[in-house]
Structure 1
Amino acid sequence: MKNINEFINELSLESNLQIDDIPGIDLYMDQVIQLFENKYSGSKRNDEEKVLTKTMINNYAKGKLFFPIKNKKYSKEHIILISLIYQLKGALSISDIKSTLGGVNEKVVKKEIDLEAFYNSYLDIHTKNLESFHEEIKQHSEEVSEGIGEMADPQLEQILLIASLANISNMYRRAAEKLIDGLPPIEQKQTKKDG
């Protein structure tokens, strides 16, 4: 790739919903959608793609990916959880997201977690991951350029880089899935408390 820095900047990976971006009042669904659209519009693949829709939010609610809302309004905690769902859905299935966030939801309802502090920890890790990504993508691009060797065909080089990045993505996704498989099922936690 000729200008890797420009390519990385076009990805808009630094966009994240910060705690300060979330109003101190509960929001209606349309306001939540607008908040996400304003924050993440640069990360969309094309103009037709939607960051968040009513259907998505309703499916997350029906799937119990976050605790129930009250009076058709979403609290700061709901918005934080929806932001985490938004970040996770690019790599994980809905059932894996439910397994991942189930314990967090349970702790929020019982007031056993400072969700803002947890989310800020996630944002800090995201920043560090982004720094590593910038270096790694440059390295992968260089390796592909060297690996293409005598063929020196820009299209083949791009395809090889796509295959390399997809391969790495699959490895990270599998590692995440293995960690998810090690989480205690939420149903078992509830059964133990009932019995």
Structure 2
Amino acid sequence: MTNLANLLDQLNLESNIALEDIPELDLYMDQVIQLFERNFGSSTRNEGEKVLTKTMINNYAKGKLFLPIKNKKYSKEHLILISLIYQLKGGLSIQDIKQTLEGINQRTESGQFELNQFYQSYLRLHEKNIEIFKDDVLQMEQDVKQEVSTLEADESEELEIVLLIASLINISNFYRKTAEKLVDQLAAKNAKKD
């Protein structure tokens, strides 16, 4: 099997938009797209893959995934929310993302909430999650090798790769299903408020 530690490094998991990367001035859509391409472009699967497009941003706005835009410009708060949407869309539906961010949007829009501090907390957790993830994947690789060694089969490298892929997807599904259940709890809690 290829060196999994090298493969994990190629994922550019550290890619993110730090608060200091977000200008204090409001940005036009093209500037928002450039900022995201600059910060997340190295983490795409294929070279031609777009991180963010005008259509995506317009769909997020129409779907009310973030607070309303003023004068076709995006504030620091919009950029933080779009960054969170970018991260969440890998595992949640657009409707689930809307439900997840609804309270954050309301608090931010009413001025009752310091979105910068919340986002900084997210970034700290992101860094911790990278280390946990890398350790878990490398341990999983060892577990897979152990399992394959018990099989009487040729092409053990291919079997290791397939079993590792299946295990990674399995774990990913566990996390996604847990997140979906939390979204459902949040939705039920918000429905009681209304």
Q: TM-score, normalised by structure 2?
A: 0.94
Contact 1:29 1:72 (8 Å CA) reproduced:
yes
**Distance of 2:68 and 2:188 partners within structure 1:** 19
Mapping for residues 1-195 of structure 1, pairs under 5 Å = 1-149=1-149, 150-151=152-153, 153-184=156-187, 188=191, 192=194
Change in CA separation of 1:107 and 1:189 when aligned onto 2, cut-off 3 Å: farther
**Distance of 2:91 and 2:130 partners within structure 1:** 16
Change in CA separation of 1:5 and 1:164 when aligned onto 2, cut-off 3 Å: same
Q: What secondary structure sits across from 2:66 in the alignment?
A: coil
> What amino acid is aligned across from residue 72 of structure 2 in structure 1?
K
Shift of 1:124: 0.5
Change in CA separation of 1:2 and 1:72 when aligned onto 2, cut-off 3 Å: same
Deviations 1:73-126 (A, max 9, x none): 000000000000000000000000000000000000111110000000000001
**Distance of 1:33 and 1:141 partners within structure 2:** 36
Contact 1:17 1:39 (8 Å CA) reproduced:
yes
Shift of 1:3: 1.2
Query: Please, which moves more after superposition, 162-171 or 177-186?
Result: 177-186
Query: Please, which moves more after superposition, 63-72 or 180-189?
Result: 180-189
**Distance of 1:135 and 1:187 partners within structure 2:** 36
**Distance of 2:188 and 2:96 partners within structure 1:** 11
**Distance of 1:118 and 1:107 partners within structure 2:** 12
**Distance of 1:180 and 1:58 partners within structure 2:** 23
- Matched residues, number: 191
**Distance of 1:91 and 1:10 partners within structure 2:** 21
Shift of 1:28: 0.2
Shift of 1:184: 3.7
> What amino acid is aligned across from residue 122 of structure 2 in structure 1?
Y
Structure 2 segments unaligned to the other structure (5+ residues): none
> What amino acid is aligned across from residue 58 of structure 1 in structure 2?
N
Cα RMSD over matched residues? Answer: 1.5
Contact 1:148 1:157 (8 Å CA) reproduced:
yes
Q: Could you list the runs of 4 or more consecutive aligned residues of structure 1 that deviate by over 2 angstroms after TM superposition?
A: 184-190
Shift of 1:2: 3.8
Matched-pair identity in %: 58
**Distance of 1:80 and 1:33 partners within structure 2:** 13
Structure 1 segments unaligned to the other structure (5+ residues): none
Deviations 1:130-161 (A, max 9, x none): 11011000001111111112435211211110
> What amino acid is aligned across from residue 99 of structure 1 in structure 2?
Q
Shift of 1:187: 7.3
